[in-house]
Structure 1
Amino acid sequence: MPTKANLVRRTIIEDPLCDRCRAEHETPLHALWECRELNTVWASSGLEHIRRQSSFLDFKDLVASLLQQQTEVGLAAMMMWSIWSQRNQVRLRQPSTSLQQIVQLSKDRYNEFLTCQVPTTVRAARVKKKWEPPPADLVKINFDGATCSGTNKSGLGVVIRDSMGQVLASCSKVVNQAYNSSEVEAMAAGLALSFAAEIGVKNAVLEGDSLLVVNALTDSESSLSHIGPLINDAKYRLKNYCTLM
């Protein structure tokens, strides 16, 4: 994180003092949590009791404590992002919100984020159907993903077939983390499109069995769900293909 203390350590600047208080070195912990100029922010956040009762070695220690206490980490993270963003706007002399506005602004943004999340029941929805061949002038790219929580790994698979059902190419990938079903399906879609581009496939039908991922890929709007970055990356690659199923 490019705080002033870190920039001094890298010999980029010479002054490590926090621009807000001019009393302490601007470390990540100070800039986002300890600075006395942030008292008004954290006092109305619901986390002031932690700030008053606990001291932390560094920012990592703070995050670990918030997680251990099962505090609303998402809202805390949004507030810290807003604090850092406001700090940068002030430094660059750009229009910025006041510190007094940060709490409500963060709550509004966090609620918007939660609203965009897909319920678990929808997340698990999958389309089950028999494989059908593509038109004669196209190939079909099938993608799928699976998770093994026991080994904390996920698997991605891609198969490309012609209109006769003959396998033209296939690939698989093991990811060293157990993602949820929608995440692993979105990753598989991205792998499928990347793999197809690498071997020169252009005109194709892309098919997957995750209803959530298929709907997100066909949506003209940018995805704001938790798999949004994966979906948006796949949609960028998808423009080279003609059909999605």
Structure 2
Amino acid sequence: MLPPKTRWRPLPPGELKINSDVAIREGLPLIGLGAVIRDHNGVIIAAMSKPLQGSFNAEIGEFLALREGLLLAKKSNLTVKIAEVDAVNVALSVNSSETLISDAIFLVKDIKALLKEAGDCKH
């Protein structure tokens, strides 16, 4: 799991990357999850967006969006080499052998299982 970069850099030819994000509007019991899978030229290969009822903090929303992006790649039979999120704590939790955000323990386990299935995905 890579934290966000300040500038987009092209991937090696043939490789794919997931970017995921969450949209939260304070005071509404609804969040939006989104993910985009791009190729080495930045061309969108697959994308998803999904509303989710409930009140979630930003970090939980980032975990949920990442999981949805990884599920999109799996359902689309796409091999993703890099997964990137906006939240540094989310990246650290996924990369750590421990779950740093206890509220997200089951999400982190799901994400780690999906990343393991993806093979050599950098995360």
TM-score (norm 1): 0.46
Match of 1:185 in 2: 62
Rounded to whole Å, the distance in 2 between the matches of 1:137 and 1:128 is 20
Flag structure 2 segments of 5+ consecutive residues without an equivalent: none
Higher strand share: 2
AA matched with 1:166: V
Does structure 1 residue 161 correspond to structure 2 residue 15? no
Higher helix share: 1
Match of 2:27 in 1: 150
What displacement does 1:241 show? 4.0
Rounded to whole Å, the distance in 2 between the matches of 1:129 and 1:189 is 19
**Which entry has the higher C-alpha Rg, 1 or 2?**
1
Rounded to whole Å, the distance in 2 between the matches of 1:161 and 1:134 is 9
1:205 to 78, 82, 88: 82
Rounded to whole Å, the distance in 1 between the matches of 2:30 and 2:91 is 23
Q: Equivalences for 1:169-180 in 2 at 5 Å?
A: 169-180=46-57
- CA gap of 1:209–1:241, structure 2 versus 1, over 3 A, is farther
Rounded to whole Å, the distance in 2 between the matches of 1:158 and 1:233 is 16
Q: How many pairs were matched up?
A: 120
What displacement does 1:130 show? 2.2
Match of 1:242 in 2: 120
What displacement does 1:177 show? 1.3
- CA gap of 1:224–1:158, structure 2 versus 1, over 3 A, is closer
Between 1 and 2, higher relative CO (CA 8 Å, sep ≥ 6) is seen in 2
What displacement does 1:196 show? 0.5
Match of 1:232 in 2: 109
Identity %: 31
AA matched with 1:243: C
2:15 to 138, 151, 171: 138
SS at match of 2:103: coil
What displacement does 1:223 show? 5.3
AA matched with 2:122: L
- CA gap of 1:234–1:213, structure 2 versus 1, over 3 A, is same
- CA gap of 1:242–1:174, structure 2 versus 1, over 3 A, is same
SS at match of 1:138: coil
Rounded to whole Å, the distance in 1 between the matches of 2:121 and 2:95 is 10
SS at match of 1:170: strand
> Which whole-Å deviations, capped at 9, do the CAs of 1:86-136 have from their partners, x for residues lacking one?
xxxxxxxxxxxxxxxxxxxxxxxxxxxxxxxxxxxxxxxx84622222221
SS at match of 1:132: coil
Match of 1:194 in 2: 71
Rounded to whole Å, the distance in 2 between the matches of 1:144 and 1:181 is 9
Moved over 4 A (4+): none
Match of 1:39 in 2: none
TM-score (norm 2): 0.87
What displacement does 1:231 show? 1.0
SS at match of 1:244: coil
Flag structure 1 segments of 5+ consecutive residues without an equivalent: 1-125
AA matched with 2:120: C
